[in-house]
Amino acid sequence: MASAKNNLKFRYSILKYYYTLFVSKKGLGSIFKPLFFVYPSDNNVFLDDIADTQFMVGPDLMAAPILEKNTTSRRVYLPESKWYNFHTGEQYLPGTFQLNNVSLTDKLPVFLR
In this prediction, residues 36-50 reach a mean pLDDT of: 93
In the prediction, which pLDDT does 36 show? 94
In this prediction, residues 21-30 reach a mean pLDDT of: 87
Residue 88, amino acid: T
As a whole number of angstroms, the distance between CA 49 and CA 41 comes to 18
Q: Are 72 and 105 in contact (CB under 8 A)?
A: no
68 pLDDT above the threshold of 90? no
Q: Are 65 and 53 in contact (CB under 8 A)?
A: yes
In the prediction, which pLDDT does 31 show? 92
Q: Are 59 and 94 in contact (CB under 8 A)?
A: no
